[in-house]
DNA sequence: AAGTTACAGTTACACGATTAACTGAAAATG
DNA sequence: CATTTTCAGTTAATCGTGTAACTGTAACTT
C-alpha cells in the first residue's frame, strides 16, 4: 500500500499539517523537523497523492489537448513542443484525437471539463466559430485557426495563412510564371484552407492576370485527394507553357507530384509545385519540395505558454490573437525553366 | 461555480447517497426519484467531479503513455489506436514524449505514478531490462520491445523482428541477389534493431553465403543517419552487380535512397532497397518502398486491451508475451533486374 | 513583573464524491 | 395478530490532502 501523509507524520512524530508545510513550503518549519520529516518520507517512499491535492486546491495541473489526427507529423510536432513547455512547469497533458469529427471534438471537450483539466488546447478545431466561442469554465486556446473576435475566455494562436498564400503567388509571379493552379484544401470546413486560396488568388489578380489564368480545385488535404484531383486535372491538360501549381498542404503536394509523375510529366520541368506546411520529410521527397514553413514549434510552444500564463495569473483569456509569421523555404520543386 | 452532488440532492429533495446511486446505478432507486434527480442534474448542469470520485474509489481512469518521439508517424499510429480502445472504455490517456532519453523516461514513470494513473503503456522504451522489470504499484505493458521473462506486473506486446529480418533476407535470396548490405539501427540500445540485423544475417549465412557477402553498418534510425551512412558507404563502392540493401527502418530507408540518388545511382536498378515499418508515406516515396509491415494498429490496440483487461479484472500482468506477425509488403524498390 | 507580541506547531474541518451501516415502514410469514 | 423479512432511502464515515483557526511557549515591551 502506498504511504500517506499520515504515515509520514506518525513516523516523524509531528502533525500532518507540518508535513504538508514542508511539502508546500508555505510556512516556516524548523530545520530539525524538516530533516526528520524528509527522512521519514524517504523511508516510506512517500510521494504526495496528486488526486487528493487536486480535490483540495481545485487545480489538477492537467491540460487537455485535442488534435484532428495524431498520425500527421504536422500535429505531432505541435504536440511535442506544447508538451515540452507544459512539463517544464509541471503540468501534464491529456491527449485526445478527434479524428476530424466535430461530434468527437464536442464530446472530448466535455469529458475534459468533467475530468477537471485546468485548460484546453484545441488544435485546428473543426467546430463552427459560434460553438467554439461558447462560454466554458476553463480557458481554451485555439491553435492554427482564426475566428471572429471574442472575449469568452478563449484565445487564438495561428500563422497568417492569407499572407502565406500571398507569398506563394508572389514567388510564382516574380519568377515569371503566367499560368496558375491551386489545389485548395477543404475551404468550406477549414478556414485556413480558404485563406491560403484567397491569398494566392488575390495576389495574382492584383498583378493584372485574369480569372482564366488561375484555376483552382477543391481537395481535402490528404495525400490521396492530392493524387486523385491532380490526376483528373491532367486528363484535360494541354501543355503550352510551364504550369505553376500551389498545392496547399505538403502531404497533398506529395500526392500531386506522384500523379504528375504517373502521367509522364516532370516536376518542375513541366509543372512547378509549391506546397504548404514544411513537414520535415518535405525536405527529402524528390524533388525537394518548396513550401511555406508553418511554424509548428512556435504554434505549440506559444499556445501552451499563453495558456499556462493565464492559468497561473488566474486571469481570463481575452480573445487575444497571436499571429505568427510563415516564410517561404526555397527548394527545387518550383524552379522556373525555359519551357 | 460548478454544481456538486449536494446541490443536486438539495434541489431534488433527497440525500446525496441517493443521487450517487442513480449515477452509479449500484442500488435500486424508484423511478419517480430517478426522474426528479435527473431533472435536477440537468437544471444545474451537473456533472460528477471525477477527481473526487477518483480519490474515493482509488481509480483515476487515466492511463500513462510514453513514446520516444510523437513526431514519428510510426509512434503516432500506435498512440492513435491505443487511444481509440481506451476511450471506448472511458479511460483517458496522458501522453509524454521521452525524447528517447532514459532519464526522462524514468522521471515520466514516476510522475505518472504520483498522478495516480491506473496503468502505463511504454512504447519502445530505452531502459535496460533490469530497470524495466522493477516492481511498480501499477501494471505496465511494454510495446514494440521484448525482454527477458518476468512476473513483476508487466507484459510485452511486440512483433517478431527477428522473423522480419528473416523475411527480408529470404526475399532477397529468392530473387537471386548475391551481395547484401544491412544498414542496422542502434543495435546496442534498441533490442529490435539487433533482432532485425540478426534475422537478416542468419538467414543469408544459412543459405551458404559467406560473411564477406553480407556487410552491415550501424545507424540510429533517423533519416539523416540513413543518408550519411549510405553516402559514406558508396564512396568506396564499386558496382559489380546489383546490391541488395536492407535499411532497417523506413525513415532511414528514405534517407538512404536519397543518398543513392545523390551519388548518381538508381533504386532499384543499381541498388535494391527494402525498409522496415511500413510507415504510411512509404507507399508514396519514389520508388514505392518495399518494406516489412510493422503492425502499428495491433500494437496499439492489443497492448491497450491487455492493459485494460488486467485493470478491470484486478489481476496482475504476468510477464506475458504477445507476439505479432509482420509481413513483407512488395512494392518497387527491390525489383531484381539484369545488371 | 505583568502584559503584549511573535510564531512554531497542532487541531479540526473542508474539498466532492462513494459506501457501510443504519432506519423505519411495508410486506411476508406462521 | 405478532414477528420477521425486505428494502428504499438516509446518516455519517471515509479517501489524502491543504489550511484557517487555534494553542502554548518564548521573547519582547514598558
How far is the C-alpha of B151 from the C-alpha of B125, rounded, in Å? 18
Q: How many angstroms is C1' of C22 away from CA of B214?
A: 80
Cell 543513392 belongs to which residue? B260
Per-residue model confidence as pLDDT tens digits over A221-267 = 988 999 999 999 999 998 888 999 999 999 999 999 999 999 999 99
Answering whether pTM is above 0.75, one says: yes
Contact A96 B95 (CB under 8 A): no
Predicted confidence (pLDDT) at residue A151 exceeds the cutoff of 80 = no
Cell 498522478 belongs to which residue? B115
Per-residue model confidence as pLDDT tens digits over A307-338 = 999 998 888 888 889 999 999 999 999 998 87
In the beta sheet, which residues pair with residue A181? A215, A245
In the beta sheet, which residues pair with residue A96? A66
What is the rounded average pLDDT for all residues in chain A?
94
For testing contact with chain A, the best of B76, B82, B100, B260 (most A CBs within 10 A): B76
Q: How many angstroms is C1' of C5 away from CA of B117?
A: 48
- Residue B196 has which C-alpha cell? 532485425
Predicted confidence (pLDDT) at residue A135 exceeds the cutoff of 90 = no
Contact A258 B284 (CB under 8 A): yes
How far is the C-alpha of A52 from the C-alpha of A4, rounded, in Å? 11
Per-residue model confidence as pLDDT tens digits over B247-304 = 999 999 999 999 999 999 999 999 999 999 999 888 878 889 999 999 999 999 999 9
Per-residue model confidence as pLDDT tens digits over A266-314 = 999 999 999 999 998 888 788 899 999 999 999 999 999 999 999 988 8
Q: Which nucleotide is nearest to A58 (CA to C1')?
A: C15
In the beta sheet, which residues pair with residue A143? A123, A157
Predicted confidence (pLDDT) at residue A149 exceeds the cutoff of 80 = no
How far is the C-alpha of B110 from the C-alpha of A55, rounded, in Å? 21
User: What pLDDT does A211 receive?
Assistant: 93
B184, B198 contact by CB (below 8 A): no
Q: What is the H or E stretch that residue A106 is in?
A: helix A102-114
Segments of chain B scoring below 50 in pLDDT: none
Percent of chain A with pLDDT over 70: 99
* Averaged pLDDT for residues A124-149: 90
B272, B335 contact by CB (below 8 A): yes
Contact B97 A113 (CB under 8 A): no
pLDDT band at A69 (very low <50, low <70, confident <90, very high): very high
Q: From start to end of B135-260, where are the E strands?
A: 140-143, 154-159, 180-184, 214-218, 243-247
User: What pLDDT does B281 receive?
Assistant: 83
Residues of A within 8 A of B98 (CB-CB) are none
A159, A299 contact by CB (below 8 A): yes
User: What pLDDT does B339 receive?
Assistant: 66
Predicted confidence (pLDDT) at residue A3 exceeds the cutoff of 80 = yes
Chain B: closest CA distance from residue A40 (Å): 18
Contact B55 A51 (CB under 8 A): yes
Percent of chain B with pLDDT over 70: 99
User: What pLDDT does B154 receive?
Assistant: 94
* Averaged pLDDT for residues A69-79: 94
Amino acid at each position: 500500500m502506498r504511504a500517506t501523509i499520515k504515515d509520514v507524520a506518525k513516523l516523524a512524530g509531528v502533525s500532518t499539517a507540518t508535513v504538508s508545510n514542508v511539502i508546500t513550503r508555505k510556512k516556516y518549519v524548523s530545520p530539525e523537523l524538516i530533516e526528520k520529516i524528509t527522512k521519514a518520507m524517504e523511508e516510506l517512499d512517500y510521494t504526495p497523492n496528486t488526486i487528493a491535492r487536486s480535490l483540495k486546491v481545485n487545480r489538477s495541473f492537467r491540460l487537455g489537448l485535442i488534435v484532428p489526427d495524431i498520425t500527421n507529423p504536422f500535429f505531432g510536432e505541435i504536440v511535442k513542443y506544447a508538451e515540452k513547455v507544459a512539463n517544464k512547469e509541471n503540468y501534464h497533458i491529456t491527449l485526445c484525437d478527434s479524428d476530424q469529427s466535430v461530434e468527437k471534438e464536442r464530446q472530448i471537450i466535455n469529458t475534459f471539463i468533467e475530468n477537471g483539466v485546468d485548460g484546453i488546447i484545441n488544435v485546428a478545431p473543426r467546430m463552427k466559430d459560434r460553438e467554439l466561442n461558447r462560454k466554458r469554465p476553463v480557458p481554451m486556446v485555439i491553435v492554427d485557426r482564426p475566428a471572429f473576435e471574442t472575449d469568452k475566455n478563449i484565445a487564438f494562436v495561428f500563422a497568417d495563412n492569407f499572407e502565406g498564400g500571398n507569398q506563394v503567388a508572389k514567388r510564382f509571379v516574380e519568377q515569371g510564371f503566367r499560368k496558375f493552379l491551386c489545389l485548395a484544401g477543404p475551404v468550406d470546413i477549414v478556414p485556413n484552407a480558404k485563406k491560403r486560396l484567397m491569398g494566392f488568388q488575390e495576389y495574382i489578380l492584383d498583378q493584372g492576370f485574369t480569372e482564366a489564368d488561375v484555376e483552382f480545385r477543391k481537395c481535402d488535404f490528404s495525400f490521396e485527394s492530392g493524387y486523385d484531383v491532380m490526376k483528373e486535372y491532367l486528363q484535360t491538360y494541354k501543355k503550352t507553357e510551364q504550369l505553376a501549381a500551389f498545392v496547399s498542404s505538403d502531404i497533398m503536394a506529395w500526392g500531386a507530384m506522384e500523379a504528375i509523375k504517373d502521367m509522364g510529366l516532370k516536376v518542375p520541368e513541366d509543372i512547378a509545385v509549391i506546397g504548404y506546411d514544411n513537414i520535415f520529410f518535405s525536405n527529402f521527397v524528390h524533388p525537394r519540395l518548396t513550401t511555406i514553413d508553418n511554424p509548428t514549434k512556435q504554434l505549440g510552444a506559444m499556445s501552451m505558454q499563453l495558456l499556462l500564463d493565464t492559468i497561473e495569473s488566474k486571469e481570463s483569456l481575452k480573445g487575444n490573437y497571436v499571429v505568427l509569421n510563415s516564410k517561404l523555404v526555397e527548394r527545387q520543386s518550383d524552379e522556373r525553366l525555359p519551357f
